[in-house]
Structure 1
Amino acid sequence: MNLLTVPLQAQGGADYSFLIMMVAIFAIMYFFMIRPQNKKQKEIANFRKNLEVGQSIVTAGGIYGKIKSIEDNAVIIEIAPSVKIKVDKNSIYADAQAPSAQSK
C-alpha cells in the first residue's frame, strides 16, 4: 500500500504544469488556426455584401464571370456572351481582378 501512495503523491505537483501546458496549446491553436480563419470569413462576408453589377468574380466552384444583376440571395452571372447563370450569393468566393485570386 505504501508503494502505491508514493507515485500518486509525485503526480500531485504535475497537475499545474499539465494545466499550463493545455492552456498554452489552446492559445497556440487559437492564434495560428482559429483567429486567421475567422478573419478570412469576415473578409469574404464583407466582399459578398459589397458586390456590384459589372464586377468580375469567381464562384466557389471555380466559375469565372461578370455580375449582371443582384437579387436578395442570388446573383445572375454572365460566364460567356449571352450565357447567364444564377448562383447563390454564398457561393461567390473572390474578386477575379484581385491580385490574391490570381496568385493562387
Structure 2
Amino acid sequence: MFISSAFAQTAPAAAAEGAGVMGSLTGMLPLVLMFVVLYFVMIRPQMKRQKEHRAMIDALAKGDEVATAGGLLGKVTGLSDGFVQVEISPGVEVQMQRSAVTQVLPKGSVK
C-alpha cells in the first residue's frame, strides 16, 4: 500500500520539472509579444521619421523656403556644417541650427 502511494506522489513532481521550462517560456510569451507590438507601433515609425528629417536637412540648398521649429518662415541664404542662415524679412537674416528646420515649403510660399 505504501509503495503505490510513493509512486503516485513522485510522478507529478517529475512531470512538473519537465513542464517548468515550458511554463516559464509560456509566462514570458506575453512580455515578448508586447515588446514586438511596441517596436512596430512606436519605435519603427519614429526611426523612419528621423531618417526622413535627416535626409531633408542634408538636402537643404540656397533659395529653399523653410519653416522652423520656432514658427519662423523664410528663405535659406547660407549654409554651413551645422547652421543655416534664413532671411525672414528683406534685410533681416537669422542664423540657426539645421535641426531647427522642420519643413521645406514649396517655392513661392513665403511672400
Q: TM-score, normalised by structure 2?
A: 0.72
Name the counterpart of 2:97: 88
Letter in 1 for 2:97: D
For residues 14-93 of structure 1, the aligned pairs below 5 Å read 14-93=23-102
Q: Extract unaligned runs of 5+ from structure 1.
A: 1-8, 99-104
Letter in 2 for 1:57: V
Letter in 1 for 2:94: I
CA distance in 1, matches of 2:41, 2:106: 28
Query: Secondary structure of 2:27's match?
Result: helix
CA distance in 1, matches of 2:23, 2:92: 67
Stretches of 4+ aligned residues off by more than 4 angstroms: none
CA distance in 2, matches of 1:26, 1:38: 16
Q: TM-score, normalised by structure 1?
A: 0.77
Give 1:18 shift. 2.3
Identity %: 32
The higher radius of gyration belongs to 2
Query: Secondary structure of 1:37's match?
Result: helix
Letter in 2 for 1:50: A
